[in-house]
């Protein structure tokens, strides 16, 4: 009996675990789930005979090593900083490893050794990164095979709230880690447009958006992701003059979030002073210049927003008091947002992704959109959990069935990795809709 | 014969060295100057019989230790990160140490040991920090002694170009480290106004300025320094409802510098891609959204400035090419500014400082300004070199003459340190003008 070992049973693992348990018999495998929280594991296994729970401190070296030695394959859904320690053991005992995290330089450096051992370390095999790579690279490879050449590639992804459950004025709820939402976009965004390098500083990020419709999911707007340039290499489109990756929000979200950024409320680099007992109103006022003017008027003048009802709805001008006794502006803002943007039991989230390609084949110009959307089933089996978990689970299944045979350290941009996974994802309703139009020329 | 050892012979040490050599006989001391650059030391010693040059790698432990053991007192004008290694030797051999740098936590932690050894580690004894501490704390102590209480303390300092030599449209030249000028203000500025904590993010720093006249030096504007709050403790005015420290520039400088900040041109956190051969115009364009609009018009629209002649004068819209082959935006911007803002041989710099106090004594309200300005003598004996070097040199002299007897790790906020130094500074023309006015009440 093969043993699949999964480290971590957190929020994004529901679909992953269910899929692997559903296919455990077919794979002649058991799934051993390791976490600090036994109850969490048992909830997810839900009495399935092929599932097993283990509480283990991964820093206990000999226990961890013995465990990994007993595995057929290993999956790490731990926070990314823990992958390296797991990966080193996997290398030592020749076990393949799967993660949904960005490939770190440390893991990347293990490529040669992994090849020598004949094992696969597959990273970035979740939603974004993951499904984005596979679906985009498939189109890119097909166009290249036809002798085509790309003039533009833009790619957008968002984890949002489904329309029916979109009940607050921000049109946003926390469907994933709130801290990451509050800190999103810090640093510079780098991309290419018409051959020009473009650098958007964080303070302008949320005011330089672009809008689009996606399938029947409605209108969205996107702000730039940090580094779009590195994708030229991953996707073998080094020559491309326009490349842009962005994160999707519902319309008008960004210009309001921009106020938090410009005020300095998303700063996580320093602790505010004496916030114990401070009101939300005082918190807001601390980011605006002193004057005898009314706070609401100062806020409007600084942000340039006439309608500040979204901020009023959050209570930012109220005498509610901050629940933290210390913290950065970002931590305080998060503590204000969390109760307001919490996903309710019956809420369903929405995942949307769209690639926009422009290319030429044999002198004919094409605009090609490749899009998908998926709603969650409930607050456990969310769209996020499914789109992060299924690609990972399918990759493990395909690997165990011998349908993925590549070795070394990879992300899923190779045909012999993405093809079997994308095919299987379609069975799980993760299907891209392709809209291809011939055009006479591209706009400048 | 006593030996004063000075580590570092860089740009700000001219006045320090001259003063110590001038007083060497009176102190029965020689001055040994340690630097990597023998020529630099010898230029500064200029044949003086009391001066001695030594080229030493301070990381050669045994040589460094032997040297420090031979000293009467030690001065470190090295970059601040090297002070700790010098300080540890000073502690080991019971030698007092003087620096013009901000007191680091590592040095602060040596307080008890320094007291036990009966030695003094005096830090922040330059201009800012240094003269600011001494001159402000003197007024504060005097008002407290009279039973007074402060309602406001604002303090401003700037290193600028003297009016007569102010020949460029920015009214600014590099009179100190260009890199520090380009990066100035990054992070958040924290201060208190009328009992309200205020946090100004970097992206708003240069647009929230205040203006003032200083003596007969004309008008200035100030942007907030990073941390004004910590001065409440240093100056024993914990109770004060308004405290603000700012950096001075000539009028309208800040609103133009603000454009660099908001564009992202002062970002030092990432390397730009493919800048070899890039024109200044392309550099400027890379921080603005792609459009078919003319660059100058995009620049005006984004910055809100109608008059962009200062940027034209720098060549930012020209086809001049960048001289660096790699670098961050801040490094590229610095490479553009340095040749334009360079101090010429005959140029004289200007140091200005102003404290603005508001206090009450016996029910009477006072506004009190305490100001000084000093022009440099030439491009070597700059106002900056004098105002950084003299306080340090005088502190060493006063210590050797037994007029400063305090032990432990300090900054110059104690009467028995600042009084003898301020008295001596007056002889060097660093004299504060006090303007004290009774007022009926303070504005809100």
Tens digits of residue pLDDT in B70-116: 999 999 999 999 999 999 999 999 999 999 999 999 999 999 999 99
Q: Chain-wide mean pLDDT for chain B?
A: 96
Alpha helices in A176-324 (DSSP H): 178-183, 202-205, 231-234, 253-263, 280-285, 295-303, 309-313
H or E, element range at A38 = helix A38-45
Give the best residue of A154, A193, A195, A197 to mutate against chain B (max B CB count within 10 A).
Answer: A197
pTM for this entry = 0.92
| Chain B environment of A287 (Cβ under 8 Å) | 198-201
pLDDT at B378 over 90: no
In sequence order, the 6+-apart residues with CB closer than 8 A to the CB of A415 are A138, A141
ipTM for the whole complex: 0.90
Q: Is B269 near chain A, with CB under 8 Å?
A: yes
| B333 confidence band (pLDDT: 50, 70, 90) | very high
**CA–CA gap between residue A387 and residue A431 (Å, rounded):** 11
Q: Is B290 near chain A, with CB under 8 Å?
A: yes
Q: Which residues of A371-386 are buried (b: 16+ CB within 10 A; e: fewer)?
A: bbbbbbeebeebbbbb
Give the best residue of A188, A193, A281, A282 to mutate against chain B (max B CB count within 10 A).
Answer: A188
Alpha helices in B230-328 (DSSP H): 231-234, 253-263, 280-285, 295-303, 309-314
| B10 confidence band (pLDDT: 50, 70, 90) | confident
Shortest distance between the Cα of A192 and any Cα of chain B, in A, equals 9
Rounded to the nearest 10°, the torsion over CA B86, B91, B94, B99 is 50
| Chain B environment of A267 (Cβ under 8 Å) | 188, 199, 201
> Which tokens belong to B352?
């200005």
Specify whether the CB–CB gap between B441 and B365 falls below 8 A: yes
pLDDT (0 to 100) of residue A379: 82
Number of helices and strands in chain B (H, E)? 17, 16
Tens digits of residue pLDDT in B203-253: 999 999 999 999 999 999 999 999 999 999 999 999 999 999 999 999 999
| Chain A environment of B194 (Cβ under 8 Å) | 290
Closest residue to A188, CB basis, from B194, B267, B274: B267
Q: Is the dihedral of CA A54, A57, A63, A65 positive or negative?
A: positive
pLDDT (0 to 100) of residue A441: 75
Residue closest to B279 by CA, chosen among B326, B236, B223, B318:
B318
**CA–CA gap between residue A332 and residue A275 (Å, rounded):** 9
Which residues in chain A come in under a pLDDT of 70?
A: 443-444
Closest residue to B286, CB basis, from A187, A199, A282: A199
In sequence order, the 6+-apart residues with CB closer than 8 A to the CB of A180 are none
In sequence order, the 6+-apart residues with CB closer than 8 A to the CB of A340 are A168, A313, A314, A315
pLDDT (0 to 100) of residue A443: 64
Give the best residue of A204, A238, A304 to mutate against chain B (max B CB count within 10 A).
Answer: A204
Q: Do B199 and A286 touch (CB under 8 A)?
A: yes
pLDDT (0 to 100) of residue B443: 65
Closest chain B CA to residue A288: B198
Q: Is A301 near chain B, with CB under 8 Å?
A: no
Specify whether the CB–CB gap between B427 and B367 falls below 8 A: no
pLDDT (0 to 100) of residue A444: 55
Q: Do A274 and B197 touch (CB under 8 A)?
A: yes
Question: Sheet of A51-55: strands edge to edge?
Answer: A51-55, A29-35, A2-7, A73-76, A96-99, A120-122, A408-410
Q: Do A282 and B201 touch (CB under 8 A)?
A: no
Q: Do A196 and B282 touch (CB under 8 A)?
A: yes
Q: Do A286 and B208 touch (CB under 8 A)?
A: no
Closest chain A CA to residue B202: A264
Chains A, B: CB pairs < 8 Å = 89
Number of helices and strands in chain A (H, E)? 17, 16
> Which tokens belong to B432?
């504060």
Specify whether the CB–CB gap between A347 and B217 falls below 8 A: no
Q: Is A239 near chain B, with CB under 8 Å?
A: no
**CA–CA gap between residue B240 and residue B153 (Å, rounded):** 8
Shortest distance between the Cα of A394 and any Cα of chain B, in A, equals 37
**CA–CA gap between residue A103 and residue A439 (Å, rounded):** 37
| Chain B environment of A274 (Cβ under 8 Å) | 197
Integer angstrom CA distances of residue B343 from B161, B166, B167, B322, B348: 9, 10, 11, 21, 8
Burial of A275 (0-12, 13-18, 19+ CB in 10 A): buried
Q: How many CB atoms lie within 10 A of CB A318?
A: 12
H or E, element range at A322 = none
Q: Is A295 near chain B, with CB under 8 Å?
A: no
Question: Within the 173-212 window of chain B, which residues sit less than 8 Å (CB to CB) from chain A?
Answer: 187-188, 190, 193-194, 196-201, 203-204, 208
H or E, element range at A213 = strand A210-213
pLDDT (0 to 100) of residue A169: 97
Q: Do A197 and B262 touch (CB under 8 A)?
A: no
Q: Do B188 and A292 touch (CB under 8 A)?
A: no
**CA–CA gap between residue B367 and residue B354 (Å, rounded):** 13
**The length of chain A, given as a count of residues:** 444
| Chain B environment of A229 (Cβ under 8 Å) | 273
**CA–CA gap between residue A392 and residue A74 (Å, rounded):** 11
Q: Which residues of B35-49 are buried (b: 16+ CB within 10 A; e: fewer)?
A: beeeebbeebbeebe
> What percentage of chain B has pLDDT greater than the value 70?
100
What's the longest Cα–Cα distance across chain B? Answer: 74
Specify whether the CB–CB gap between B167 and B218 falls below 8 A: no
| Chain A environment of B279 (Cβ under 8 Å) | none
Tokens 């709230």, located at residue: A161
Residue closest to A135 by CA, chosen among A299, A311, A288, A355:
A355
**What DSSP character marks residue B81?**
G
**CA–CA gap between residue B222 and residue B205 (Å, rounded):** 10
B128: left (phi over 0), alpha (psi -120 to 50) or beta: beta
pLDDT (0 to 100) of residue A378: 87
Q: Which residues of B148-177 are buried (b: 16+ CB within 10 A; e: fewer)?
A: bebbbbbbbbbbbbbeebbeebbbbbbbbe
What's the rounded mean pLDDT across residues B181-198?
Answer: 96
Shortest distance between the Cα of B112 and any Cα of chain A, in A, equals 28
A226: left (phi over 0), alpha (psi -120 to 50) or beta: alpha
Q: Do A197 and B229 touch (CB under 8 A)?
A: no
> What percentage of chain B has pLDDT greater than the value 90?
95
Q: Is A289 near chain B, with CB under 8 Å?
A: yes
Tens digits of residue pLDDT in A50-105: 999 999 999 999 999 999 999 999 999 999 999 999 999 999 999 999 999 999 99
Integer angstrom CA distances of residue B155 from A92, B421, B434: 62, 20, 14
Specify whether the CB–CB gap between A246 and A210 falls below 8 A: yes
**CA–CA gap between residue A408 and residue B256 (Å, rounded):** 52
**CA–CA gap between residue A238 and residue A236 (Å, rounded):** 6
Closest chain A CA to residue B260: A201
> Which tokens belong to B394?
């005088």
Residue closest to B8 by CA, chosen among B71, B83, B108, B63:
B83
Give the best residue of B151, B189, B201 to mutate against chain A (max A CB count within 10 A).
Answer: B201
Closest residue to A267, CB basis, from B188, B262, B290: B188
Q: Is B285 near chain A, with CB under 8 Å?
A: yes
Q: Do A286 and B200 touch (CB under 8 A)?
A: no
Shortest distance between the Cα of A288 and any Cα of chain B, in A, equals 7
Q: How many CB atoms lie within 10 A of CB B362?
A: 7
First vs last Cα of chain B: how many Å apart? 59
H or E, element range at B333 = helix B329-341
pLDDT at B444 over 60: no
Q: Please give the angle made by the CA atoms of B416, B418 and B419, to the nearest 5 degrees.
A: 70
Give the best residue of B189, B205, B264, B265 to mutate against chain A (max A CB count within 10 A).
Answer: B264
Q: Do B190 and A270 touch (CB under 8 A)?
A: yes
């Amino acid at each position: 009996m093969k043993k699949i070992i999964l480290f971590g049973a957190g929020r994004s693992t529901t679909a992953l675990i269910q899929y692997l348990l559903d296919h455990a018999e077919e794979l002649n495998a058991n799934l051993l789930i390791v976490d600090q929280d036994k109850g969490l594991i048992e909830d997810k296994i839900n009495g399935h005979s092929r599932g097993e729970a283990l509480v283990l401190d991964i820093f206990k070296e000999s226990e961890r090593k013995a465990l990994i030695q007993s595995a057929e394959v290993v999956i790490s859904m731990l926070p990314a900083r823990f992958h390296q320690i797991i990966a080193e053991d996997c290398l030592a005992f020749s076990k393949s490893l799967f993660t949904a995290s960005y490939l770190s330089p440390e893991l990347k450096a293990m490529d040669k050794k992994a090849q020598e051992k004949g094992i696969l370390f597959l990273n970035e095999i979740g939603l974004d990164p993951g499904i984005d790579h596979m679906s985009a690279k498939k189109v890119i490879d097909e166009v290249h095979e036809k002798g085509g050449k790309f003039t533009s590639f833009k790619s957008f992804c968002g984890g949002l709230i489904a329309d029916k459950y979109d009940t607050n004025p921000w049109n946003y709820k926390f469907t994933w880690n709130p801290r990451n939402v509050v800190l999103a976009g810090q640093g510079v965004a780098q991309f290419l447009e018409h051959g020009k390098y473009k650098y958007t500083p964080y303070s302008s990020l949320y005011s330089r958006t672009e809008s689009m419709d996606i399938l029947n999911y409605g209108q969205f707007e996107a702000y730039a992701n940090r580094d779009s340039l590195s994708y030229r290499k991953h996707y073998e489109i080094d020559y491309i003059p326009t490349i842009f990756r962005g994160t999707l929000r519902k319309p008008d979200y960004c210009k309001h979030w921009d106020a938090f950024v410009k005020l300095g409320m998303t700063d996580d680099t320093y602790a505010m002073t004496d916030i114990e007992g401070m009101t939300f109103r005082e918190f807001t006022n601390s980011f605006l210049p002193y004057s005898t003017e009314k706070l609401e008027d100062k806020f409007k003048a600084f942000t340039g927003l006439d309608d500040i009802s979204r901020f009023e709805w959050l209570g930012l001008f109220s005498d509610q008091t901050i629940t933290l006794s210390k913290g950065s502006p970002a931590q305080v803002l998060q503590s204000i947002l969390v109760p307001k943007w919490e996903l309710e039991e019956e809420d369903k989230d929405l995942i949307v992704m769209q690639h926009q390609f422009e290319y030429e084949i044999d002198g004919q110009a094409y605009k090609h959109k490749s899009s998908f959307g998926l709603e969650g089933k409930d607050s456990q089996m969310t769209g996020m959990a499914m789109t992060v978990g299924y690609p990972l689970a399918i990759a493990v299944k395909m690997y165990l069935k011998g349908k993925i045979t590549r070795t070394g350290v990879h992300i899923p941009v190779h045909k012999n990795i993405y093809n079997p996974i994308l095919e299987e994802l379609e069975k799980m309703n993760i299907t891209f809709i392709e809209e291809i139009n011939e055009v006479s020329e591209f706009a400048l």
